[in-house]
Amino acid sequence: MKNEILLYLIGTAGSGKSTLAQSYKEWCDLQGLNTVLVNLDPGAEFLPYTPDVDIRDWISLQEVMETHELGPNGAQIVCADMIAFNAEDIKKSIESFKAEYILMDTPGQLELFVFREAGKYTIQFLYPKRSLLCYLLDPALAKTATGFVTQLLLSLTTNFRLQYPQLNVVTKTDGLSEEEQDLIRQWSQDPQALYTAVINEKTSVHREMSEHIVQLLEQFGGYSELLFTSKENHYGMDDIYNGVQLLFTGGDDTLKD
């Protein structure tokens, strides 16, 4: 693998990883970009797209449950670790496509990829110098100040654990009002505005913890430009593309004529 760019879609369950993978793949196809979609979730029962490379070809959640006499959660953990053991086969399958962009749809539960060594190992084994994290913020959680703080903390933790360049993306923005989107943008750009919004929420332990976390995020660089996306009309897909280009080509547009 020499010139491929690997974009890892990471986020909490329900944040829209698979939906974004489908939308971005469709957008890339329209632009004439040769793109491969990789499913890294062994436990996925339904995907809105047909993966070009599918970890389920090597790992079966049901078989792991039966062989090791585990419940779904325990089997998910075993399967997540098994991804690393199949990294060479995944790499060979990806390389066979000779694609420009590789979209990596990671396991539905964030902790299975971010907090286990198998996730970091997989990125390092495939092609670390051409890898980019795309952290997805769930709009249902991000539209309140304390919820937004939680999302930023998870984003920062993901970056801390995996230590790769990262884009932060708010997904499913068609479910947010314009006012809610404007608030999220403001909070992402102005720590003081976020802090004020937090302390104006109802008094609780969660609110008090969020006050301190805002200061922590500011200290450790937990703020970055947010990109907003929706599956409607491929909204925001060009912004993700521009973010990728800025990192790997210095902003030069490599779209085919």
Give me the residues paired with residue 37 across strands: 103
Q: Which helix (H) or strand (E) holds 33?
A: none
CB atoms within 10 A of CB 179: 9
Percent of the chain past pLDDT 70, that is, above it, reads: 95
Q: Is the pLDDT of residue 76 over 60?
A: yes
How large is the average pLDDT for residues 65-71?
90
Please state the pTM of the whole predicted model: 0.91
For the chain, the distance separating the N- and C-terminal CA atoms, rounded to the nearest angstrom, is 24
Give the Å distances, CA to CA, from 161 to 9, 110, 132, 250. Answer: 15, 12, 14, 26
For residue 221, pLDDT over 70 is answered with: no
Give, as one character, the DSSP assignment of residue 22. H
> How does pLDDT run across 121-166, given as a tens digit for each residue?
999 999 888 999 999 999 988 999 999 999 999 999 999 999 999 9
**How does DSSP classify residue 4?**
-
**Cα 215–Cα 116–Cα 10 angle in degrees, nearest 5:** 65
Going by pLDDT thresholds of 50, 70 and 90, the confidence category of residue 211 is confident
- pLDDT of 169 > 90? The answer is yes
Question: What burial class does residue 165 get, using C-beta atoms within 10 Å of its C-beta: 0-12 exposed, 13-18 middle, 19+ buried?
Answer: middle
Give the closest residue to 131 by CA, choosing from 103, 152, 170, 90. 103
CB contact at 8 A, 213 and 153 = yes
User: Across the chain, how many H-helices and E-strands are there?
Assistant: 12, 7
pLDDT band at 254 (very low <50, low <70, confident <90, very high): low
pLDDT confidence of 202, banded at 50, 70, 90? confident
Distance in angstroms (rounded) separating the CA atoms of residues 200 and 195: 9
Domains plus CATH for the chain? Answer: 5-249 (3.40.50.300)
**Confidence at residue 3, expressed as pLDDT on a 0 to 100 scale:** 75
Q: What is the pLDDT of residue 257?
A: 45
